[in-house]
Structure 1
Amino acid sequence: MGAKKSVLVTDLDNTTWDWFEAWFRSFSAMLEKLSNDSGVPRSQLEAEIRPIHQLRGTTEYSNLLNEIPSLRAAVLPREPAEVFDEALHALHSERRRATRLYPRVLETLNRLKSEGVTVIAYTESVAYWTEWRIKHTGLDGVIDILYSAPDHDLPRGVGVESLRQRDPSSYGLRQTEHRHVGKGEWKPNPEILRAILRDCGKAAEDAVYIGDSLIKDVSMAQSVGVLDAHAEYGQVQHRDEYNLLRRVSHWTDADVERERALPSGVIVPTVSCTSFERVLDLF
């Protein structure tokens, strides 16, 4: 494996925590409550939600309810988020319950840090919810530097302050340094990974990269010459529940089809991990 490794670059969603399980449970709970309380069929809600997610570039859009056309028409002049507050409560409650680290993630990262390894996280998820998950799972300060997408846009006249209910001091990370990649930059982008390594003064041969996506993570690491580890335990695309994410995702139809049609063996990971702690063997 060449030179001794001194930096771990890790994906977050479905690599350190089960993002899909938390998203599916929370989003499904919200949809069910919305449909029951509004009388709008779930299929119609899903069809109206996807263009909003595509416009905002995320499936975690905080102002979603206020932009769903059928809900707006049903409650004007009031705001849907006010009328259907219980649906949002269901969303947030399920997210809190279901967001947790995979086994041995915290112990593995602390072990690496104790041995002088720099821990960097790189995710496509937006800044706010990534920070929330890092704090919720106890990784603030365990991760040295976080690279994420910036937060999504909001409609003209809507400020982020109007969406936040807690004291301002409760937002943001306390110890992990948070840096943003360029808006609209998506994996796999080898130049971003190269820039991350330059930022921390590391060469490709110094690093290990772990992620659950063959297309986005493994192929990107390989193109840069970084030792890649595939978090195969985080793959969920085969589950029936994943079709909900496809139906409401911000991904384009081409993105969805590319992921669905990827033949087995086209991208072959250098190392396959059945658990996160397997990365210890690479150091």
Structure 2
Amino acid sequence: MTTQRPVVHALILDMDNTLYDWVAYFVPAVRAMVTVAAKLLDVSEQELRGDLQVVHRSHGNTEHPFALLETAAVERRLPGVSQRIRHEHLLPAFTAFNEIRRSHLRLYPGVADTLEAVRAAGCRVVGHTEAKDVNINSRVRSLGLDAMLEAIYAPRFVGPPHPLGTGRERARDTIRVRVLPPTARKPNPEIARQISDQLGVPPARCLYVGDNLSKDVTMAKRAGMLAAWARYGTHHDPDLWRDLVSLSHWDPSAVNAAESAGAESPQYAPNATLDAFDELREHYTFAAPAGSRAVQLEPDCLGAGSAEG
């Protein structure tokens, strides 16, 4: 007897390491940036990496935009000058970052085709991430996800403006970002319920897909949603992972939590485990919700452009 697949009216997607390998692009890009910047600043790469981690920890964000401009090495080498001038001096380093990003940032196999099929079936599709709005907008633009997602839910970036001015950010908006409070963190089920409510789809008809069992899956299950674990997104090159930890803002407990992301909770087990994104269609039937309403976005919830490049 064939088991009937659950019907899904809204697909809610974690972004990093669910739709693309964030570690495989971000760490090599930072490595390239540090190599160039260290020469421009006449410091060792090891010292500059340590400086970057200090900045990341001070902001609680490993992707803090233009963290390089706030490092102690830059303060010593370029004291008393504007961020615009610092950016100009270090432009080759930022260019190196962006070049590696362009060559390494790719959707996982099957993502584009699967999302096209899901949307063609009338199912709602949105993203949800803990990455700040400015960072996720940059990745969306690079990957062409603006054509695949209705909107993205992300916390607002609170920090210095783009060194070249805010006008540049607004000019490059590509997708609507529904801004969450800066402190909105997984696995708070209220976040998932809010998304469900704004989509006009009951939680039981929502499917959340993510790579982190303790955050993504637990949050979805507590909110009454279906949950699929993107197990494929937990496999990282050990060397890249060590580099990421050495750069990150994480304290020891956060590192342990990140490295335990694949530890399953019996209370909140996923409804499906994926070893490839396109396996979604083997487990679920995607369809249009009856009488759904469009995502309502206030003007101040629009994306703030890119701060990565």
The two structures have a TM-score, normalised by structure 2, of: 0.81
Name the SS of the counterpart of 2:147 in structure 1: coil
Q: In structure 2, how many angstroms separate the alpha carbons of the residues matched to 1:183 and 1:33? A: 32
Alignment of 1:242-257 (within 5 A): 242-257=241-256
Deviation (angstroms), 1:164: 6.6
Name the SS of the counterpart of 1:251 in structure 2: coil
Name the SS of the counterpart of 1:241 in structure 2: helix
Q: In structure 2, how many angstroms separate the alpha carbons of the residues matched to 1:15 and 1:95? A: 17
Alignment of 1:1-283 (within 5 A): 4-78=7-81, 79-154=85-160, 159-160=161-162, 162=164, 168-169=170-171, 171-173=172-174, 176-236=175-235, 239-260=238-259, 264-266=263-265, 268-281=269-282, 282-283=284-285
**What are the superposed Cα offsets for residues 101-128 of structure 1, whole Å, 9 maximum, x if unpaired?**
1111111111011111000110111112
Structure showing greater relative contact order (alpha-carbon pairs closer than 8 Å, 6 or more residues apart): 2
The two structures have a TM-score, normalised by structure 1, of: 0.88
Give the unaligned 5+ runs of structure 1: none
Deviation (angstroms), 1:41: 2.3
Deviation (angstroms), 1:61: 2.4
User: Identity over aligned residues, as a percent?
Assistant: 26
Letter matched to residue 273 of structure 1: L
Deviation (angstroms), 1:66: 1.8
Name the SS of the counterpart of 1:44 in structure 2: helix
Name the SS of the counterpart of 1:162 in structure 2: coil
Q: In structure 2, how many angstroms separate the alpha carbons of the residues matched to 1:137 and 1:114? A: 20
Letter matched to residue 176 of structure 2: E
Name the SS of the counterpart of 2:131 in structure 1: strand
RMSD (Å), alpha carbons: 2.3
Q: In structure 2, how many angstroms separate the alpha carbons of the residues matched to 1:165 and 1:88? A: 19
Q: How many residues align?
A: 276
Deviation (angstroms), 1:266: 3.8
Counterparts in 2 of 1:185 and 1:54: CA distance versus 1, 3 Å: farther
Q: In structure 2, how many angstroms separate the alpha carbons of the residues matched to 1:152 and 1:186? A: 15
Counterparts in 2 of 1:261 and 1:147: CA distance versus 1, 3 Å: closer
Verify the 8 A CA contact 1:222 1:228 in the aligned structure 2.
yes
Deviation (angstroms), 1:46: 2.3
Verify the 8 A CA contact 1:205 1:226 in the aligned structure 2.
yes
Name the SS of the counterpart of 1:240 in structure 2: helix
Counterparts in 2 of 1:178 and 1:166: CA distance versus 1, 3 Å: closer
**What are the superposed Cα offsets for residues 221-270 of structure 1, whole Å, 9 maximum, x if unpaired?**
12222111111111145623112221221333321123335684446433
